[in-house]
Structures are given as C-alpha cells and as structure tokens.
Amino acid sequence: MMNVKDRIDELAAQLKQYNYEYYTQDNPSVTDQEYDALMNELIQLETLYPDLKRADSPTMRIGDTVLDAFDKVTHDIPMMSLSNAFNKEDLRDFDKRIKKAVGEQQYTAEVKIDGLAGALHYNNGTFELAATRGNGTVGEDVTHNVKTIRSIPLTIDYQEPLEVRGEIFMSKRSFEQANKRRTEAGNAPFMNPRNAASGSIRQLDSKIAAKRQLDMFIYSVMEPERHGLTSHYEALQFAKELGFHINPLTERFNTIEEVITFVEDMTEKRDTLSYDIDGIVIKVDDISRYDEIGVTAKSPKWAIAFKFPAEEVLTQ
Ligand code: IVH
C-alpha cells in the first residue's frame, strides 16, 4: 500500500494540474466533484499528519491565515502608472514621439483590466511574496490572500529570482455571486468588480479572499534582460510557459494604424468579455529601447493607455 507521504504528493500533483487546467487554461479535464473529492482527501490527510503538509499544498487555496496587520513592502522598482490617450490622434501622437526617439517600432496591444495592480515574487521556483501597488514605492504584503488566487502558480519550473506584475480582478460572474451573498446576508453590495477585488485583497483573513474568487492576468516580467528577454510579447509568452495566466487578447502589430483597428474592435467586443476592461494598453515591443525612450515622473514614455469613454450611468 502507498504510504501517506506519497499519497499527499500524488494528490498535490493531481490538484495542481487540474487547477491549472481549470483556472489558467480554462479547459478542465475532471468534474468539480472529482476535484472536490481529491481536495477533501488531501485536507483530511493534512489534518491527520500536519508535519507532512507541503509548503506549496493546493489546500492553501482555501485560505488558512488571519493577520493582525499588513506588512509594508518597498518595491525594488517603483510601480508606475500609464499616461492616457483618449482618441486616435493621441495614439498617432504617441507613435510620432516613439519614432522620433527610436525610429519605427512594433507595438504590443493588450486589454487594460479594471482591477488593482499586484507584484509577485518567486525565489527558487517558489511563490514567496505578493504586494499591492500602494503609493507606487511602498505597498502592502498581501501574500496570504494572493495564494488563494487559483490561476497563480505556487511553484514554477524556474529557479532564478523572478518578479512579475499584473492586474488582480474579479470576473463579472464572481462579482454577481459575491453581491448576491452580500445582499442575502443584509450587507451593502459592492459598487463594481474593481472595488470588490480591492476590498477582497485587503482582507486580513484569507478565507474571505478565497471565497471571493479573484483572478489575475500577468502583464509584465520585471528586469526582462535578466531572463534573456528583449521583446515584451515574448516576455508574456515566457510567463505563460511558466504557468501564469496571460490575457489571450494580446497582439503584436507593425503600425499604429493596426493598433487603432484593434482598439476599435475591442471597443465593440468589450461588453462580451467576462471581466471589466477600461481601455487598451499599447507598449513598444522592443524592451531594449526602453532606457532610450525614458520615463516621466509618473509613467514610462514607451507605453500608453487608451481609455474607453466612461460608460454613462442611466438614471430613471
Ligand atoms: S502595464 C508602467 N498593462 O493600469 C505601468 N497595466 O496606470 C505598467 N493595468 O495600475 C502597467 N491592465 O495596474 C499594464 N495590460 C495592462 C494593464 C495595466 C491594467 C493597470 C495597471 C496600472 C494602470 C495603469
């Protein structure tokens, strides 16, 4: 008969794979019932044999930490914001500035997720720390809550120190479910998925964050050259291969006119997505030109956010 440790390892490996299929690839190979049965077996074994619980156990997704307060985290590289474009002319002006600085460039265009920024740190293949943006220089340690986000790998097959950043968000479906539960319990509903996501990530009790079913798309690999990366698009592919959730609506274009067509397509598609977006982020693809292009006090000059017109709120 298999010993307990081997069974725990086997369950952890199976759950990790099923979790990845379901939450990152959106392509499950087992039913929810099969998944829950394996998870329950693992919880039972870990309760009986706490010494055998793995540091990367899938049971951590359920939330098992209650903090007294958040620790502060100083970002090695400040978390900047983006300057905005509101129309095609602003995008063409951006293109002109880029051409003037470094000549013709390819661009990566991706959806701008309406959530909150997060930074994830890995060391020796293990997820160690997650921080919020805070004021851009100092954020808060929200590792306990971020561990409950199922599309974030707790271990990766890459031993070098790695920092990735992205947007933590709540899907429209999870938002509706959370608000249904809140109203039934007599609590005021969340205003929108962004408020719900940021309120959930600021919980001291990770069981609460776990119930809120947050998700995260990774949009940056920090210090890409340390990982042999010179293209932003390829940096996203690199992150994807490591098991991170990358937004599939990401494309690389040769001209700003192609980018503008993408922006128009997405403006139409916007309401059909299962999560809120508030614009499109356009980045110069060639990372090796970033230093030359430079930054302003608040934002890099190699990227711009096209903002959709604010949705009008209709009142009766
Ligand atoms: S790139 C230097 N890409 O939008 C900043 N940001 O002000 C690099 N956001 O708070 C950010 N989706 O959290 C980037 N695909 C995306 C994004 C994205 C959402 C957020 C970001 C930041 C804000 C920009």
Dump pLDDT digits (tens) for 41-51. 999 999 999 99
Q: Is the CB of 178 under 6 A from ligand 1?
A: no
Mean of all residue pLDDT scores within the chain: 94
Do the beta carbons of residue 107 and residue 259 sit within 8 Å? yes
In the predicted structure, residue 34 carries a pLDDT above the cut 80: yes
Atom of ligand 1 nearest to the CA of 300: 2
Specify the pLDDT at position 26.
84
Specify the pLDDT at position 302.
98
Specify the pLDDT at position 316.
43
The residues pairing with 47 across neighbouring beta strands, listed in sequence order, are none
Say what the pTM is.
0.93
pLDDT tens, residue by residue, 142-156: 999 999 999 999 999
Placement of tokens 């990152």 in the chain = 24
CA distance 117 to 73: 14
Q: For residue 22, what is the DSSP state?
A: I
Considering only CA atoms, which of 112, 114, 116, 167 is closest in space to residue 276? Answer: 114
CA distance 72 to 163: 17
Specify the pLDDT at position 313.
57
Q: Which residues contact 219 (CB under 8 A, 6 or more apart)?
A: 110, 113, 165, 166, 167, 236, 247, 281
CA distance 271 to 278: 11
The residues pairing with 108 across neighbouring beta strands, listed in sequence order, are 252, 283
* pLDDT over 90 percentage in the chain: 91
Q: How far, in Å, is the centroid of ligand 1 from the Cα of 278?
A: 11
In the predicted structure, residue 311 carries a pLDDT above the cut 70: no
Q: 31 phi and psi, to 5 degrees?
A: -80, 165
CA distance 213 to 173: 10
pLDDT interval class at 314 (50, 70, 90) = low
Q: Is the CB of 134 under 6 A from ligand 1?
A: no
- CA 274 to chain CA centroid, nearest Å: 15
In the predicted structure, residue 221 carries a pLDDT above the cut 60: yes
CA distance 217 to 229: 19
Q: How far, in Å, is the centroid of ligand 1 from the Cα of 155?
A: 24
What's the average model confidence in pLDDT over 277-285?
A: 98
Q: Is the CB of 305 under 6 A from ligand 1?
A: yes
Active-site position among 5, 16, 96, 112: 112
Buried b (16+ CB within 10 A) or exposed e, 228-245: ebebbbbbbebbeebbbb
In a mutational test of the pocket of ligand 1, which residue from 108, 113, 275 has the highest number of ligand atoms less than 8 Å from its CB? Answer: 113
Q: How far, in Å, is the centroid of ligand 1 from the Cα of 218?
A: 10
Q: What's the half-sphere exposure (Cβ side, CA atoms, 13 Å) at 145?
A: 29
> Catalytic residue at 307?
no
pLDDT interval class at 65 (50, 70, 90) = confident
Token representation of residue 56: 């990367």
